[in-house]
Structure 1
């Protein structure tokens, strides 16, 4: 019992206000991730963003049909679940600012590229050089006309970009 009281007193003496502040600040930093731009980010929850068994040709055809009916554009999103930047893009596309833009103006088709060895024919068809980095995007009109294809890996560093950059992209290409 005496040892327990001595230990408790030692711990209390060590917990100066500065140490207590550092512990609380560290706990908050871990529990509330913040992007490089200072925006609060949702922690990534493993999802099957890029289904390995999907057929991009069928998925693109279905997206184009939906886009024609709903007067939207189609975003082809080339990437893989292993890609951290692809996960950040997914988070940004579904955040409170961008989700309404996506819902109103776009149909997104995620296209699995494996370890840069799957669906490369689809990437080539839409002039998307996935070897320059993923995620890699293309935008089609509702009839399948290519309006934009990412040429220089612009989104390959999403983890150092902000949600605002995605908002700007969506506003530039919305229907």
Structure 2
């Protein structure tokens, strides 16, 4: 699965005095889409058009024209995501009307080319099925657990109190079999992860 790197990419473009502000990022849930849109949509703009695809179970995809003529804004953005075979990606294009009507064809090209120009500068990464794992264990097993993580080249987020708490991401679920005698597994979450 291909997606844009998990950071925010921004670009500004102008077509016949209309300004197009493009923002692209990785999203992994509908909640992340909603948070992204509430943070980056500009209520003072003429239009906030977007499209996203999330490869979850089931796959989710949607677009919004925000008052632009049908087929000129959100739908071309969705088609661009699909054409580039991207998943877990959202494109938001905010338009500030410049006083010149573009017409349907030029308007569609303006949305599409502004998003495509920014996508050329985005970092695309391959995601693969993986796991987010959380474990708790006695401090007396610290060296054993660290040696297993080192063997798999895993870096964990670590917290210590009376017991150690580690959280990490991996593509190798078999690590839990090696750790099981020394740890309590708090959770294992299936998720797509970057090449690790």
TM-score category (smaller protein): under 0.3
* TM-score (structure 1 length as normaliser): 0.23
Counting strand residues as a fraction of each chain, which structure ranks higher?
2
Counting helix residues as a fraction of each chain, which structure ranks higher?
1
